[in-house]
Amino acid sequence: MCLAVPARLVECRDDSAVADLHGNRVNISTMLLPTAKIGDWVLLHAGFAIQLISEQEAQETFGVISDLRAASGGAP
Amino acid sequence: MNDSIQRLHAAAARLVRPVKFMEVCGTHTMSAFRSGLHSLMPANVTLLSGPGCPVCVTSQGDIDQLIDVARKPGVILCTYGDMIRVVGSAGSLEQARADGADVRVLYSSLDAVKLAAENPSRQVVFAAVGFETTTPASAAAVLHADKLFLSNFTILTSHKMVMPAMRALLSADDLQVDGFLCPGHVAVILGAAAFDPIASEYHKPCVIAGFEGAQIATALARLTEMMADGICRLENFYSQAVTEKGNVAAQELVARIFRPDASYWRGLALLPDSGLVLREQYRRYDARLRFQLGQPINREISGCLCGDVITGRATPADCRLFGSACTPARAIGPCMVSSEGTCQAWFKYKRVANRPSPSPRPSPGVPGEGEKFSAAAERNA
């Protein structure tokens, strides 16, 4: 439940945004990360961006997540 | 990962006694097993799984109330997927749904608020479960519902905080924990400094770690080095995402909506100021008041050792139910239900080594092999 996933912001308005999550576009909230802007990589948890991260960190995290998803069926 | 393992073995060779470290994050539990880390560790270093899986630490009374509310007429119960199969005194949310209850699995708490706005004649209840990572999402949902003047939205909260549980474990006389692997994404919210008391007050080394097998191995190597060198310090090995102060906006939002209160944990019983309840001005969003649920009653599951497993006092192999009556396909305790639970991890990755006898209740057409068995269970979830 506490696993956050990397996503890239492709649209931002007020405290909501559209994030590219592994090719899927999802509506998310940026109210916990008010400085987030288009193009930023963020850690996404249960529909909320919680932290800015570098693209390199995002790519590294994808590897872990696909591994864990395969193992555990994927909880939020 | 090889370098980290070598470093871990080199440090372990310098230890004067066996050490036990504990992780308190369901994702660490799964990742450590998944990467085969346990089998690569030196014999004198043990990694215990602590109370890091939110589903597993949720008390039986809270689970029962969740299922009771779901069964009330007119209610839409919204939950994260993890909770749906957890077994209460009278079945699970999944069974309640099969009986006709309206139970929805959501990705975001804000979707529950949206449902409430779209269904003014229904009562929407959000199952607010989890640690510091999920608490801000619940706080945001309450704030959002308040802005929309929604009178048909409530949350049933059993939010918990990680540090009080770690303090309780460190204060327990019957438990040896020499150091902690601190949860990475909780630390993203709380900030690294929140874990400093483990070192400064309890004099135990602790490392904030990422989630890759190699990252966990490196963190364990560092913990072992600190033990060998007699150093008690907090070190942040996940600085890519974890800052000293954490996510201040999230902390402020949580503090605005919730206040600390005593909370009942599976395995740790009632811990003061370890949970979060709605502040007075937001109490109208409390499902316990709306539905007059009263105090939860905790009836423990007969024979289930989840409480001892969560606190590192027992391993799943010590449990009579493990692997026989309790399997991922037909789970009894929450540690077997949850994809982050220690029992499920053992069942998938360690069962053969620790319990050579096959499950006495094989399903027809399903091999009694952990991975396939549980994959079938998840498809049903």
What digits encode the pLDDT tens for the residues B166-177?
999 999 988 889
pLDDT of B358:
42
Q: Which residue has the tokens 């060998």?
A: B228
Cα–Cα distance for residue pair B22/B207, rounded to 1 Å: 11
CATH topology of domain A5-72: SH3 type barrels. (2.30.30)
> If phi over 0 gives left and psi between -120 and 50 gives alpha, with beta otherwise, what is residue B195?
alpha
Neighbouring residues of A65: CB distance < 8 A, sequence distance ≥ 6: A3, A5
Nearest to B359 by CA among B328, B337, B335: B328
- From the number of C-beta atoms within 10 Å of its C-beta (0-12, 13-18, 19+), residue B302 rates as exposed
3-class secondary-structure state, position A61:
helix
Residue B106 clears pLDDT 60, i.e. is over it:
yes
Residue of A nearest to B27 (CA): A3
Asked whether the beta carbons of B145 and B110 are under 8 A apart, the reply is no
B189/A contact by beta carbon, under 8 A:
yes
pTM of the model: 0.88
Residue B347 clears pLDDT 60, i.e. is over it:
yes
Give pLDDT tens digits for B5-16.
999 999 999 999
CA distances from B56 to B86, B93, B119 (A): 9, 15, 32
pLDDT of A67:
65
Q: What is the mean pLDDT of chain A?
A: 84
Residue B249 clears pLDDT 90, i.e. is over it:
yes
Pull the structure tokens for residue B7. 């470093």
Architecture of domain B2-54+163-236: 3-Layer(aba) Sandwich (3.40)
B338/A contact by beta carbon, under 8 A:
yes
| DSSP letter string, B250-267 | HHHHHHHHEEEEEEEETT
> If phi over 0 gives left and psi between -120 and 50 gives alpha, with beta otherwise, what is residue A22?
left
pLDDT > 70 in chain B, percent: 92
A&B contacts, CB < 8 Å: 126
pLDDT of B350:
79
Cα–Cα distance for residue pair A59/B4, rounded to 1 Å: 21
Tell me which residue in B55, B185, B240 faces A3 most closely, judged by beta carbons. Answer: B185
pLDDT > 90 in chain B, percent: 77
Q: Is the sign of the CA dihedral B204, B207, B213, B217 positive or negative?
A: negative
Asked whether the beta carbons of B168 and B266 are under 8 A apart, the reply is no
A55/B contact by beta carbon, under 8 A:
no
Give pLDDT tens digits for B202-229.
999 999 998 888 899 999 999 999 999 9
Nearest to B11 by CA among B21, B23, B24: B21
CATH topology of domain B59-159+247-290: Rossmann fold (3.40.50)
Cα–Cα distance for residue pair B333/B284, rounded to 1 Å: 33
Q: Which residues from B are below 8 Å from A2, CB to CB?
A: 25-27, 52, 54, 130-131, 133-134, 183, 185-186
3-class secondary-structure state, position B331:
coil
Cα–Cα distance for residue pair A16/A33, rounded to 1 Å: 10
Tell me which residue in A48, A50, A71 faces B30 most closely, judged by beta carbons. Answer: A71
- Classify strands B91-92 and B87-88 as parallel, antiparallel or unpaired: antiparallel
Residue B200 clears pLDDT 90, i.e. is over it:
yes
Lowest-pLDDT range, A48-62, B302-316, B317-331? A48-62
Å from A25 to nearest chain B CA?
A: 14
Neighbouring residues of B91: CB distance < 8 A, sequence distance ≥ 6: B67, B99
How open is the CA angle B295-B298-B301, to the nearest 5 degrees? Answer: 160
Cα–Cα distance for residue pair B85/B100, rounded to 1 Å: 16
Cα–Cα distance for residue pair A36/A12, rounded to 1 Å: 8
Q: Which residue has the tokens 């709306």?
A: B290
- The domain ranges of chain A are 5-72
Confidence of residue B26 (pLDDT cuts 50, 70, 90): confident
